[in-house]
Each structure stands twice: as C-alpha cells, then as structure tokens.
Amino acid sequence: MPGTSAARGELEEFLAVAISPELLELALTHRSYSYENGGTGHNERLEFLGDSILGQAVTVMLYRNNPNLDEGDLAKRRASLVSSVALAEVARTIDLGRHLRLGRGEELTGGRDKSSILADTVEAIIGAAYLDAGGDAATDLVLRLIAPLLQDPERFGAAMDPKTSLQELASRQGKGLPRYEVSDSGPDHSKRFHAIVSLGGENIAEGDGTSKKQAEMAAALEAWTTLSSATV
C-alpha cells in the first residue's frame, strides 16, 4: 500500500519543493496501477520530462565543476550519475518505494524495490518539480538528490565502466565470468532493452535501457553494487 499521509508529508519535506498533492500523486503512479484502475493517469510523461531536466542539470554541474575533464570523461560521469542504478539508490535512501502506486502484479513481484521503477519515479518527481516550481527549483532538487553519489568515489569509479568492474570483482571473489541475457520490447522507433546478468548460472541483477549496451551496463552496475555490499 502507498505511504500514509504522515509518511507522504515526510517525503514532501525531504523534497523541499512546492509540488501540488495531485501532481506528486501522479508522479508516484506506475502504469501498472493505471491499467488496473480504468486507465487513470500515470507517471510516464512526467518521467520523460524529468529525464531531460536531470540530464541538463547534471551536465551543467559537471561542466562547471570539472574544467580539466575532456568530453569523454564528462560523458562517462554523467552516465554514471543518471543511470537507473544511481537513481534507484537515491530512491532507496528516501524510502520512495513505500509511496508508489502499483498494480497488483508489480506489487507481488517486488515492484517497490525494482531499480527501473524507482529510477523512473525519481525522474517523474523531477518533472513534477519543474512544472510546479520551475526550472531553478527542479535543478536544485536534482543536485540535492545526487549529492551523496558524488561523495562515493569508489562507486563512482565502478559506474564509469561497470562491466569491467563487475568482471574484476567477480574474478576476485571466484565467481567466474558474468553472462548477459538481453531482451527487447516496444516498437522499432522506441525500443526498450532489458538485461539480466548471471554468475555461475545464478541471476543476480537486472537493468533497463534504450540500447542493449545501456541495459547491460545498468545490470552490471546493479550486480557490482550487490556483490560489493555482500563483502562489507
């Protein structure tokens, strides 16, 4: 069940952005809930908007704060900060999962902790902030949300090349080479890719993206994060 009104108040206080209750509710509504409730609104349009705001805010911040980095390094850092794994990590720190409006199918399959759903919801909230509070407030929200990621250089390094980092970590742990299985869905002009990474025949992480490479990288970073946490 979605969070109580008190819990929702805690979320609004953390976000510190003036988003109307109706728009915030929309941002928290997954398409699975919409499909099971007569086609009510869901957050995919807000997610589309928020993705653009997120990318611009992170790009400008990296450009200004790293005058000595070339285009390639800036692009890698941006990719690591806006990845579904990074955004899902942000979402978990604020317990965003308990506020989601999900359909029964997603509820039963652990949708409240799926990285792809959490990441998409973060983007939808950013989009909602832009609509109700304006560009400056939305940018400030983005920078507050990603600030903890910038303080973790080890993880940041792995995010720059997650497939290599995962392979090296798995080798050190004696788990063998990662294997990737990728599927796609949607029309040709707007395909989505889903990757599953396994070690020793066991599926350990999943990732989504708009290309096969992006999905594999998201899955690899999720797997790297899981394996690293297990050794702490």
pLDDT at 61: 95
pLDDT at 78: 86
Nearest to 143 by CA among 132, 154, 135: 135
Nearest to 44 by CA among 34, 55, 31: 31
139-174: b (≥16 Cβ within 10 Å) or e: bbbbeebbeebeeeeebbebbebbbebbbebbeeee
How would you class 38 by CB atoms within 10 Å of its CB: exposed for 0-12, middle for 13-18, buried for 19 or more?
Answer: exposed
Neighbour tally for 191: CB within 10 Å: 13
pLDDT at 226: 85
pLDDT at 1: 46
Which residues are identified as catalytic? 51, 123
pLDDT at 29: 95
120 is in an annotated binding site: yes
Residues 6+ apart with CB under 8 A from 3: 11, 98, 99
pLDDT at 101: 93
Task: Please report the domains of the chain, with CATH numbers, ordered by start residue.
Answer: 5-159 (1.10.1520.10), 162-230 (3.30.160.20)
pLDDT at 153: 63
What is the residue type of 33? Y
Report residue 13 as tokens: 């206080």
Residues in the chain, overall count: 232
What are the C-alpha distances in Å from 8 to residues 80, 94, 133? 29, 11, 18
Q: Distance between CA 49 and CA 46 in Å, rounded? A: 5
pLDDT tens-digit profile, the chain (232 residues): 455 566 678 888 889 899 999 999 999 999 999 999 888 899 999 999 999 999 999 999 999 999 998 888 888 788 878 888 789 889 998 899 999 999 998 988 888 988 889 999 999 999 999 999 999 999 999 999 999 888 776 656 666 678 888 998 999 989 999 999 999 988 887 788 999 999 988 999 998 887 888 889 888 988 988 888 766 4
pLDDT at 154: 63
Q: Distance between CA 94 and CA 145 in Å, rounded? A: 10
Residue 29, Cα to own-chain centre: how many angstroms?
Answer: 16
123 is in an annotated binding site: yes
Q: Distance between CA 163 and CA 155 in Å, rounded? A: 13
SS3 label, residue 183: strand
DSSP single-letter state for residue 218: H
Q: Tokens 């953390």 map to which residue?
A: 14
Beta bridge partners of 183: 194
DSSP single-letter state for residue 101: B
184 is in an annotated binding site: no
